[in-house]
Structure 1
Amino acid sequence: MDVYPYLSDRDAVAQAAELIRRFGEDAGGEAAARADASRDRGNVIHFCRWRQIERLVVLLSVPKALGTVH
């Protein structure tokens, strides 16, 4: 069974793409750092959002199509 990140809105995709553009291979680490900072501030909602964006960055870095291709 494949596990894909939950995306609550398309802004998460835009944020993932922006991280990839700005940080390249370090984009996943940047998303993780932002999640950790949100957790440290007690902001559970942003913590979860940045973790999902981190997962999306990893998914976008895979050089092949995943899941069903139509």
Structure 2
Amino acid sequence: MEEIFYIADRASIAQAEELIREFGMLAVDEAAARSRHYRELGNAIRFCEWRQMERFLSLLALDMAVGTVH
């Protein structure tokens, strides 16, 4: 199965949790806005980090399991 998202470290998970606490269901939109912001600044690294966060949060919002379930 193709990788849907990449999480670099535990700090990224903590950041996702913080976004969910602060923005609730709009956390995905906030991550998308931040990724756009960094793309506009030309900061490819931060853009990619926030884009991956957006994908991760989108996956968490699904009502079904994705990938292998153990």
The TM-score with structure 2 as length reference comes to 0.85
User: How far apart are residue 12 of structure 1 and its match?
Assistant: 1.4
Paired AA for residue 65 in structure 2? A
Matches of 2:32 and 2:12, distance apart in 1: 14
Give the 4+ runs in structure 1 shifted more than 6 A. Answer: none
Two-structure CA RMSD over aligned residues (Å): 1.4
Which structure 2 residues correspond to residues 7-26 of structure 1 after superposition, within 5 A? Answer: 7-26=7-26
Aligned length: 70
Instruction: Indicate the residue corresponding to 2:44 in structure 1.
Output: 44
Instruction: Give ranges in structure 1 of 5+ residues lacking alignment.
Output: none
User: How far apart are residue 8 of structure 1 and its match?
Assistant: 1.5
Question: Once structures 1 and 2 are overlaid, which stretch shifts more, 43-52 or 7-16?
Answer: 7-16
The TM-score with structure 1 as length reference comes to 0.85
Q: Secondary structure at the match of 1:28?
A: helix
Q: Percent identity?
A: 53
User: How far apart are residue 69 of structure 1 and its match?
Assistant: 2.6
